[in-house]
Amino acid sequence: MSAPLVLALETSCDETAAAVIEGVACLRGSAVTSQAAVHAVYGGVVPEVASRQHLTQIRGVVTEALSAAGVGLTQIEVFSATTGPGLASALLVGASAAKGLALALEKPFLALNHIEGHLLSPFIGAEDIPECVGLVVSGGHTLLIDVAGMGRYRLLGRTLDDAAGEAFDKVAKLLELGYPGGPRLEEEARSGHPARFDLPRSMKCSGDHDFSFSGLKTAVRYLLPKTQPGDRPDLCASFQEAVVDVLVHKAVRAAGLSGRRLIAVSGGVGLNLRLRERLVCAAAEDGLEVRFAAPAWCTDNAAMMAYVAAQRWKSGQSSGLEEDIFPTLGADLFKAI
């Protein structure tokens, strides 16, 4: 019996994406359309604009993903979509589309958690999920999660204010680097000296696994008037080093305390080369392995959501069409899965 074909839709923020996976190990097709150029005019994501863009792009990305997979819509056996967390008006587009297709074709539906998509993205294509500590670090989230296997998660720590990627973007905006700011700040930092400015490492030695980056952003704001235009690379490098210091320290410490020998890194900030370099070195000193999500799966995409859907369908799970979206990350981290 052939493995089921699963279609996943992702519209939690400003990427419209669709993907088709066969079983859990064979990603057949993936399509992503970014709205970065649209939101650059506003210096950040505008929810109402994002939802309208999703409405115009959703049909196209589904068609592209199906074409890449070499299958027709009627061959899909399971429909799924991200239902949270994310922007409410954006989530509704993907969730409604997937539910409508499931209803029209009389197929099952799966509601998916965006965080689980990132968490498992380093393992796309693998049959099973290994034990690890997951560092999910993106524009919207910074989390440490103990993973005992598929669906067996324990939240270790999270940011108490700004996410790491959010701090990157906000500091880039202060420095007038443009949008999206994180990659531009990293590029500027490459020619800077990371020890030039002494910036705070909030909660680095707090004794727990939580994070805080709001104070670091504020420190840059107060320091900025005292700097010259030529100081910008050094300021970017110093800011980046402060963020990376905390992320590396907390991730390695969490792995050691939980007894896991693998750290799995996902999310857009996982693309940061300084983070990758520092984390690999620090982990090696403690005999730990680090696995990063592939670059294409670090930013929001539907491939990671299709992988989650396939894993959950494999374990016998499904959702009702009455399943609602959940925009905020509540106490129940993996609600609806």
Residue 220 belongs to some domain of the structure: yes
Q: Is the same domain home to 101 and 219?
A: no
Residue 337 belongs to some domain of the structure: no
135 in Cβ contact with 292 (< 8 Å): no
Q: Is the same domain home to 9 and 58?
A: yes
Residue 321 belongs to some domain of the structure: no
pLDDT score recorded for residue 334: 66
Q: How confident is the model at residue 244 (pLDDT cuts 50, 70, 90)?
A: very high
The answer to whether residue 16 scores a pLDDT higher than 80 is yes
pTM summary value = 0.95
Q: pLDDT digit string (tens) for 290-332?
A: 999 999 999 999 999 999 999 999 999 999 999 999 998 765 6
Q: Is the same domain home to 278 and 307?
A: no
**DSSP 8-state class, residue 280:** H
Q: Is the same domain home to 96 and 226?
A: no
DSSP string spanning 26-95?
Answer: EEEEEEEEE-HHHHHTTTS--HHHHHHHHHHHHHHHHHHHHHHHT--GGG--EEEEEEESS-HHHHHHHH
Q: Is the same domain home to 152 and 288?
A: yes
Q: pLDDT digit string (tens) for 110-146?
A: 999 999 999 999 999 999 999 999 999 998 999 999 9
From the centroid of its chain, how far is CA 71? 28
pLDDT score recorded for residue 292: 98
pLDDT > 90: percent of the chain:
91
Domain span holding position 196: 130-292
Q: Is the same domain home to 135 and 34?
A: no
**DSSP 8-state class, residue 176:** T
**CA gap 90, 45 in Å, rounded:** 11
Domain CATH code at residue 306: 3.30.420.40
Q: Is the same domain home to 30 and 78?
A: yes
Q: pLDDT digit string (tens) for 79-91?
A: 999 999 999 999 9
Out of 42-46, 58-62, 93-97, 172-176, least confident range: 42-46
Residue 229 belongs to some domain of the structure: yes
Provide CB contacts within 8 A for 307, sequence distance 6+: 21, 24, 27, 117, 120, 121, 123, 124, 125
**DSSP 8-state class, residue 225:** G
How many domains, the chain?
2
Q: Average pLDDT of the chain? A: 95
